[in-house]
Amino acid sequence: MYPPKFDYHRAGSVEEALAMRKEHDGKFLAGGHSLIPVMKLRLADPGCLVDISRIDNLKGICPDGDTVKIGALTTHAMVASSGEVPEALPEAAKMIGDPMVRNRGTVGGNVAHADPASDLPTVLTALGASMQITGEDGSRSVGADDFFTDLFETVLGEDELLTGVTVPAKTAGTGTAYAKLPNPASRYAIVGAAASISVADGKCTAASVAIGGLLPATTRANAVEAALVGQEMTDANIKAAAAAIADSLGDDVMGDIHASADYRKAMAPVMIARAVKTAVGRA
């Protein structure tokens, strides 16, 4: 299906993009993998698209002390090949779509779209990433825990643009990993789990675990984290901690033609255990 008619404007800077969006009441267009499909389905009719894909200073991965800055227009392929970011990010980026999608799709577009079955929101939540947002009134930084609010919803305002993501740099003694049960057709996550685990003398000293694909928004697995900290990282202890995810899911687990809610609940601890075990090995 063809999308409805729209006007097109190309921005050369963040300031110009914000001004164009306000003047024409448009939507930002980056890689197009989220917005164009919903326009073709007539689920969105913005009337005007503001193309930000040529704003070069929103592209790239830049280490900055104990953090790494990822520009919003950085492609999934760039993340997948990066050795600068925590291991879970390139691991997840390699699982997104196919080579054509990874070469065109952007980190910012993926994160701002906030698809509950997407991979990056889950990883960024586990990493404790912060989102860099710019609007007419200035810039602000929002943690991943607060950024994703509901099904396809974030804290981004209509007059704001996500300009980048900041993640912790890789550190000795801490490992990260991502594991997912993919939809075999779309490669979206039926269940995805990300973990950042710090280990000293064989015991977990810090844990951050997030789950995606089965709830309206990516969610921290607080009960799993609490069950891991202070424990020796044996297979039995990891499995027992992963089972605590049942305490973090609530009543909002989703089901569809690809997998029922009960099946997703059953697979959640399996994916978490895989992610945690891999992260421990990397730590």
- Cα distance between residue 79 and residue 90, in whole Å: 5
User: DSSP readout, 19-72?
Assistant: HHHHHHT-EEESS-TTHHHHHHTTS---SEEEE-TT-GGG--EEEETTEEEEET
Instruction: Supply the pTM of this predicted model.
Output: 0.95
> Other C-beta atoms within 10 Å of 186: how many?
11
Site of tokens 């825990």: 145
Chain centroid to CA 72: 12
User: CATH says 56-168 is which class?
Assistant: alpha beta
Short-list 214, 277, 198, CA closest to 246: 214
Helix (H/G/I), strand (E/B), else coil: 117: coil
Six token digits for residue 115: 């698809």
As a whole number of angstroms, the distance between CA 125 and CA 219 comes to 8
Angle, helix 235-242 to helix 261-282, in steps of 10 degrees: 140
| Rounded Cα distance, 107 and 111, in Å | 6
User: Quick one: which of 121, 147, 118, 119 has its CA closest to 132?
Assistant: 147
* Distance of alpha carbon 103 from alpha carbon 124, whole angstroms: 20
pLDDT of residue 4: 83
For residue 118, the SS3 value is: coil
Domain boundaries, the chain: 7-51, 56-168, 174-282
Q: What distance in Å separates the CA atoms of residue 281 and residue 283, rounded to the nearest whole number?
A: 5
Which of these, 185, 187, 209, lies nearest to 198 by C-alpha position? Answer: 209
CATH for 7-51, options being 3.30.70.20, 2.40.50.110, 3.30.43.10, 3.40.50.620? 3.30.43.10
Q: Which residues pair with 130 in a beta bridge?
A: 143, 166
For the beta carbon of residue 200, count every other beta carbon within 10 angstroms.
10
Determine the CATH number of domain 174-282.
3.30.390.50
Going residue by residue through the chain (283 aa), what tens digit of pLDDT does each one get?
788 899 999 999 999 999 999 999 999 999 988 888 888 988 888 889 999 999 999 999 999 999 999 999 999 999 999 999 999 999 999 999 999 999 999 999 999 999 999 999 999 999 999 999 999 999 999 999 999 999 999 999 989 999 999 999 999 999 999 999 999 999 999 999 999 999 999 999 999 999 999 999 999 999 999 999 999 999 999 999 999 999 889 889 999 999 999 999 999 999 999 999 999 999 9
Beta strands in the chain (DSSP E): 7-10, 27-29, 48-51, 61-64, 67-71, 130-135, 138-143, 148-150, 153-154, 160-168, 174-182, 189-200, 203-212, 219-220
